[in-house]
Each structure stands twice: as structure tokens, then as C-alpha cells.
Amino acid sequence: MKAQNISQLLKTRVIFENELESEIDFNTVCACDMMSDLLSIMSCNANIKEHFVLLTGLTNPQVIRTSEMVDIKLIIFVRGKTPSNETVELAKSCGISLMTTPYSLYRSCGVLYRENLEDICHQKDSA
Amino acid sequence: MTDEGIKLEFNVVGGNFSDAGEAASKIKNILKQLGIKYEIIKRVAIASYEAEMNIVAYAVNGVIKADIGTDEIAVTATDNGPGIPDIEQAMREGFSTAPPEVREMGFGAGMGLPNIKKSSDWMNLNTVLNEGTKLEFRIKLK
């Protein structure tokens, strides 16, 4: 699913869009506020090549740094949160697109799950 | 390691969360330029980033050295932090002594050292209480 479609589904406001990546097909989602968890998931799945979306309530620059390490290209902040200028500038320098949705983390996950986007841990079938 | 490898060195300042991750980012970008496989770069990036965050979170300052050879990358993270009282405990997933400001940034879940171990092919940890810690890890590049 393209970032534009995800944006429409979650009624987002686009904070920064890396137009060079606008054709990426996102098919996987990770939802978490613990960057440690994100790194842990990725350290167990370093061969994951799908492009995935990060849904989070954290807005500090470390979210961008962590995303850069694991090649996340799209971050969506939930509950209408807006990151600081420092966070946005770092995202621009890393080429990571940023959006903010008025939806909660739970609702955002539900909307994307309904559209058949996969869980980063690939547990959908065994749930 | 070969003598022809690329040697990198980064000073890391404790408590400077604004710049935390810069060393890992530079190591990652150099590996990309060298055409190293995607999943290997990710493992190096995760381990380097966790090591760098540990210095920022716990030490006054530290140094990260990366030696990129033909067959593997060797990374050493040395700091003058408080040392680790119980390595076995620190290696257990979920154990953390991270201060609140680190947890607010989404870290301090007690996953750092286990993540480094999982991401690397070899890891060694030497620590002396009230003197510092030296963490080494190696990852094969092929």
C-alpha cells in the first residue's frame, strides 16, 4: 500500500514527505513506543526486506535514529502528536517521511490490519 | 582483521541524546557504500546503535572504534561509566538500570546487551566497577 493510501485511511496530516520514496509499497506494520523493542524485533528478523510503517506515540529524535538503523521509511505519530523541529529536521536528513494521525495507536492498527497489512512479527495467521 | 581495513573512531559524549546514533549512522552508511548485504548492515547498525546508546545513557564519555576488514567488522565501545555490577544479570532480557530520561526516549527496556549479542557473531564484555566498560563485537561481512 502506498503512503498516500495509508495517509487517507488514517486521515493523517503529512509533516514531511520524501517524494523519492512515494512509490514504496508498504505491506508491514510495527506499532510500539519502545525503541528497544523495535531493535529487538529487528535483531531477530534482520533479513526482513519488506518496507514497513512505524506507528508510535513517541516523537523525540531517537525515534528517527532508531528508524534509520532499521530502514523504516514512514513513521506515523498517533493521537495527533507533532514532533519537534529537531525531530523533523533529522527525519528530512534521513529521508524518512512523517505523518500524524488523530487516531489512537489501537485504532490505527485496526484500520491497517483490516486492509491486510501484516504485523512485523508475522503473527497474523497464528493469532 | 586485515591491515587494509577501514578504521573509524568516534567520540561519544554521555548524556548527549541529540547526537546519539551518529556514530552508528556513519558506520552504517560506510557499509552501504561498500556494498555489504542488507541484512548484515542492519545487524551492524543495530549492535552499534545499542552500544552507542549505552555510552550516552550511562557514561560521561566513551569511544567507538570500528575496524572494517575484508571478511568482518570489529567494533569496540569503551567508556568511563560506572561499570556493570553483574554481567549475567545485565545480559538477561528485561533487566535494566536505565534512568527515567532514557526510558522516556523509548530505551531502557533491558534489551540493549541481549540485542548486541543476538546481532553479532561474537561479543565480549569487560567491565570494572567505577572505572568503565569495554564492549567488543564482531560481525562477518560475507
Average pLDDT over residues B83-92: 87
Query: Distance (Å, rounded) from C-alpha B26 to C-alpha B24?
Result: 5
Query: What pLDDT digit, counting tens, does each position of B27-78 carry?
Result: 999 999 999 998 999 999 999 999 999 999 989 999 999 999 999 999 999 9
Mutate to test the interface with A, among B31, B107, B140, B141 (most CBs of A within 10 A): B107
> Which residues in B lie closer than 8 A to residue A65 (C-beta atoms)?
20-21, 24-25, 49
> Residue A126: its pLDDT value, please?
44
Mutate to test the interface with A, among B115, B116, B120, B140 (most CBs of A within 10 A): B115
Average predicted confidence (pLDDT) for chain A: 90
**Residue A28, strand partner residues:** A52, A118
Query: What pLDDT digit, counting tens, does each position of A45-73 carry?
Result: 767 777 889 999 999 999 999 999 999 99
Nearest CB among A58, A61, A69 relative to B46 is that of: A69
CATH topology of domain B6-140: Heat Shock Protein 90 (3.30.565)
Asked if A62 and B115 come within 8 Å (Cβ–Cβ), the reply is: no
> Which residues in A lie closer than 8 A to residue B75 (C-beta atoms)?
none
B116 compared with A51, residue with greater pLDDT: B116
In this predicted complex, what is the ipTM? 0.83
Nearest CB among B39, B45, B106 relative to A69 is that of: B45
Would you tell me which residues 34-73 of chain B have a C-beta closer than 8 angstroms to some C-beta of chain A? 38-40, 42-43, 45-47, 49-50
Q: How far is CA A5 from CA A10, A22, A26, A31, B118, in A?
A: 9, 11, 10, 18, 36
Query: Distance (Å, rounded) from C-alpha B61 to C-alpha A126?
Result: 45
pLDDT band at B3; cut points 50, 70, 90: low
Asked if A61 and B111 come within 8 Å (Cβ–Cβ), the reply is: no
What letter would DSSP give residue B66? E
Give me B25's grid cell. Answer: 549512522
Neighbours of A64 (CB within 10 A): 25
Cβ–Cβ < 8 Å for B112, B87: no
From the DSSP assignment, how many helices (H) and strands (E) are in chain A? 5, 6
Query: What pLDDT digit, counting tens, does each position of A101-122 carry?
Result: 999 999 999 999 999 998 887 6
Percent of chain A with pLDDT over 90: 72
Taking alpha carbons only, the member of B81, B61, B83, B69 closest to residue B10 is B61
Which residue ranges make up each domain of chain B?
A: 6-140
Percent of chain B with pLDDT over 90: 68
Mutate to test the interface with B, among A60, A64, A65 (most CBs of B within 10 A): A65
Average pLDDT over residues A29-46: 86
Taking CA–CA distances from A60, the nearest residue in chain B reads B105
Percent of chain B with pLDDT over 70: 98
Give the burial string for A113-124 (b: 16+ CB within 10 Å, else e): eeeebbbbeeee
What letter would DSSP give residue B118? H
Cβ–Cβ < 8 Å for B41, B32: yes
> Residue A123: its pLDDT value, please?
47
Taking CA–CA distances from A70, the nearest residue in chain B reads B42
> Residue B108: its pLDDT value, please?
78
Taking alpha carbons only, the member of B44, B39, B32, B59 closest to residue B123 is B44
> Residue A105: its pLDDT value, please?
97
Closest-CA distance, A38 to chain B, in angstroms, reads: 9
> Residue A43: its pLDDT value, please?
79
> A11 CB contacts (<8 Å, ≥6 apart)?
A101, A102, A103
